[in-house]
């Protein structure tokens, strides 16, 4: 196989260090891992197996298709997989996947799972104020969950990335009020940002996602997290653009002086969005190269004036997710999950 002209370098050391840091911050609560959306774009199997080796035991995916793809890699160990989107009728054919359980979120799903029999374990999502997925606390009080083999009672914070938002305390109080109301072995509320809200939000199990991958949802986590993934791309050409000439589609960038320009093998088809036009940056060693002109489907131009970089050399694109999000106006979540499939994921 010919080496691709671009790839995604992933650091197992940074990934596991982030999980261990979040586990420490979770205190007495266990620390799980959201690996939905193919491990936030890095590869769910590659992520989950490394985190399982580090001690993680609870993994979260969105769908049963994701669970079926991941389960063989975790089979035989202590790891468990929870399916956040519950159990549709079509999902019952996969209900016996070892180590996999649904996170039920509607009364119909609860009845469906109960009727499927065999006392299979499940989780249940309770809506405490996000108004997305979840049964109502009143339904729990009325006995909706009676008779279930309930592993974890779960809810999800809507505004944890805004520590001062009053909905955080409201959701925590609503969730805490359910303590002892069910046969659940555990309760879980905090996502990545929720971990930083403090011990009263941790309950028995935390469920970080973005922070595992080097995203920083709140400033309080900025000093403890490391970037995990770095896009690297090969330079296809170095050229001299004379003063007054333009670069790229629609001629949006004009050279203020004679400018050394390199063209790298990367574009929006690889998840390097057009939003980085005139705003992104890459590195050759320690030298920063700003993106100039429009990012196109497969190529991006960078100002290499004064930098020793030429055809065949490789550039590292900025791995700092908060900085990239600020530069592009795109969320850290989208930057990760939008990484293109043409980028080979290389773990070291």
Catalytic residues: 36, 249
With a CB cutoff of 8 Å and minimum separation 6, the contacts of 254 are 244, 245, 246
Taking residue 244's Cβ as centre, other Cβ atoms within 10 Å add up to 10
How far, in whole angstroms, is CA 149 from its chain's centroid? 29
DSSP lists the bridge partners of residue 262 as 238, 302
Listed residue (78, 29, 68) closest to 204, CA to CA: 29
Tokens of 39: 């491990």
Listed residue (211, 224, 226, 175) closest to 332, CA to CA: 211
How far, in whole angstroms, is CA 105 from its chain's centroid? 22
């Amino acid at each position: 196989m010919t080496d691709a002209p671009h790839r995604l370098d992933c650091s197992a050391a940074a990934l596991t260090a982030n999980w261990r840091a979040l586990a420490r911050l979770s205190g007495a609560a266990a620390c799980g891992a959201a690996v939905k959306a193919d491990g936030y774009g890095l590869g769910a199997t590659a992520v989950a197996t490394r985190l399982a080796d580090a001690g993680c035991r609870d993994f979260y995916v969105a769908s049963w298709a994701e669970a079926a793809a991941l389960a063989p890699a975790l089979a035989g160990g202590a790891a468990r997989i929870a399916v956040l989107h519950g159990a549709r009728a079509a999902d019952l054919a996969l209900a016996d996947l070892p180590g996999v359980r649904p996170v039920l979120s509607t009364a119909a799903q609860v009845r469906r799972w109960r009727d499927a029999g065999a006392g299979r374990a499940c989780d249940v999502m309770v809506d405490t104020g996000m108004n997305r997925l979840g049964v109502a606390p009143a339904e729990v009080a009325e006995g909706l969950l009676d008779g279930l083999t309930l592993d974890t009672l779960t809810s999800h914070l809507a505004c944890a990335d805004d520590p001062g938002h009053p909905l955080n305390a409201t959701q925590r109080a609503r969730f805490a009020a359910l303590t002892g109301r069910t046969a659940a072995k555990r309760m879980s509320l905090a996502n990545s940002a929720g971990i930083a809200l403090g011990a009263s939000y941790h309950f028995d199990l935390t469920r970080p996602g973005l922070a595992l991958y080097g995203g920083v949802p709140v400033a309080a986590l900025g000093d403890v997290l490391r970037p995990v993934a770095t896009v690297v791309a090969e330079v296809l050409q170095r050229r001299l653009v004379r003063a007054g000439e333009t670069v790229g589609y629609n001629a949006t960038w004009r050279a203020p002086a004679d400018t050394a320009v390199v063209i790298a093998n990367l574009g929006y088809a690889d998840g390097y969005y057009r939003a980085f036009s005139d705003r992104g940056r890459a590195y050759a060693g320690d030298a920063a190269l700003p993106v100039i002109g429009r990012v196109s489907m497969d190529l991006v131009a960078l100002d290499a004036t004064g930098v020793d970089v030429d055809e065949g050399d490789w550039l590292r694109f900025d791995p700092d997710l908060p900085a990239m999000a600020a530069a592009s106006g795109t969320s850290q979540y989208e930057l990760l999950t939008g990484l293109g499939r043409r980028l080979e994921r290389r773990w070291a």
